[in-house]
Structure 1
Amino acid sequence: MTPYQVLHVQDGFASLKTVRSVIPHLIFLDYQLPGMDGLECLDVFRATKGMEQVPIIFMSANLSDQARRHKDVFLLEKPFELESVIHLVKQALGDERGP
Structure 2
Amino acid sequence: MQSLQQQPNTHNPSPEKIILVVEDDDSIGSMLLEALSQETPYKPVWVSDGFQALQAVRSTKPDLFITDYRLPNMNGIELYDRLRGTHNFDNTPAIIMSAYLPEDEVRKRRLIGLNKPFEIDEFLETIEKLIP
User: Which is bigger in relative contact order (C-alpha 8 A, separation at least 6)?
Assistant: 1
Q: TM-score, normalized by length of structure 2?
A: 0.65
TM-score, length basis structure 1: 0.84
Deviation string, structure 1 residues 31-62 (Cα, Å, up to 9, x no partner): 00011111110101111333111110110010
**Paired letter, 2:102:** S
Q: Is the 8 A contact 1:74 1:92 kept in 2?
A: no
Alpha-carbon distance in structure 2 between the residues aligned to 1:65 and 1:93: 23
**Cα distance per residue 1:9-43 (max 9 Å; x no partner):** 01001101111111101111110001111111010
Gaps of 5+ in 1: 95-99
Matching residue of 2:117: 79
The residue aligned with 1:67 is: 105
1:30, 1:59 within 8 Å by CA — same for their partners in 2?
Answer: yes
Per-residue CA distance 1:53-94 (angstroms, 9 max, x = gap): 111011001001343333421111100001210121012114
> Which of the two has higher C-alpha Rg?
2
Equivalences for residues 35-54 of structure 1 within 5 A: 35-54=73-92
Which aligned runs of 4 or more in structure 1 are off by greater than 4 angstroms? none
Q: Which amino acid counterpart does residue 82 of structure 1 have in structure 2?
A: I
Q: Which structure has more helix as a fraction of its residues?
A: 2
Q: How many residues align?
A: 94
Decide which of 68, 71, 83 is 1:33's aligned counterpart: 71
Question: Percent of aligned positions with the same letter in both sequences?
Answer: 36
Aligned to 1:97: none
8 Å CA contact 2:65, 2:94 repeated in 1: yes
